[in-house]
Amino acid sequence: MNDFLTLNKQLCFAVYETAGEFNKLYTSVLQPFELTYPQYLVLLSLWEKDEVTMKELGAKLNLGTGTLTPMISRMEANGWLRKERSKEDERKVFIYLKTKARIEQPHITKRVAEEINLCKIERDEYEQLMKNLNGLHRKLKERLKSAGA
């Protein structure tokens, strides 16, 4: 007599494999721009609000410096943005988008929108998922915080 839920009934696995599919879908769209999926998320954040510190960007994307520092360095090497250490507080590093990111934005946005449209996700389905995922995300975050993790 098994007392485990099957893999297919685990919410964590549903999120895990959906995240994996999103990764594959975006990777295929972004490859011609020589961007990875997480780098695209960085650009999304910076297109919305440029000139932020590494700390602020990390908080926005929920990523530690172990992930963010090498990623930003790669994006700088590829000409998307530049880093500049603050004169006022030398602990802080500011991120600035370069013109390449500005120029490519409409192209990238258009291609991504086309691809997402082709998935035929209904608007109410989208909104309900957003609402439910945000609720779930909040609960997980609160549980992690109160566990002292």
Partner DNA sequence: CACGATTTAATCGTATACGATACAATTACT
Partner DNA sequence: AGTAATTGTATCGTATACGATTAAATCGTG
**From the list 17, 34, 51, 84, which residue makes contact with a copy of itself (rule: CB under 8 A)?**
17
Number of residues that bind DNA (CB under 7 A): 34
Which CB atom, from 86 or from 127, has the smaller least distance to a copy of itself?
A: 127
Identify what 6 binds: a copy of itself, DNA, none; CB under 5 to 8 Å per kind.
a copy of itself
Identify what 47 binds: a copy of itself, DNA, none; CB under 5 to 8 Å per kind.
a copy of itself
Dihedral angle sign, alpha carbons of residues 129, 138, 136, 14: positive
The DSSP bridge partners found for residue 93 are 85
- Of the candidates 82, 80, 77, 138, which has an alpha carbon nearest to the alpha carbon of residue 108? 80
- Is residue 143 at the binding interface for DNA, with CB under 7 A as the rule? no
- Is residue 62 at the binding interface for DNA, with CB under 7 A as the rule? yes
- Is residue 132 at the binding interface for a copy of itself, with CB under 8 A as the rule? yes
Question: CA–CA separation, 122 vs 138, rounded Å?
Answer: 24
- Is residue 33 at the binding interface for DNA, with CB under 7 A as the rule? no
Q: What is the DSSP letter of 88?
A: S
b (16+ CB within 10 A) / e for 82-103: eeeeeeeeeeebbbebeeebee
- Name the CA dihedral angle for 100, 45, 32, 110, rounded to a multiple of 10 degrees: -90
Within 38-67, which residues bind a copy of itself (CB under 8 A)? Answer: 41, 44-45, 47-48, 60-62
Q: Which stretches of the chain bind DNA, using CB under 7 A? A: 16, 20, 23-24, 27-28, 36-39, 53-55, 58, 62-67, 69-74, 83, 88-93, 149
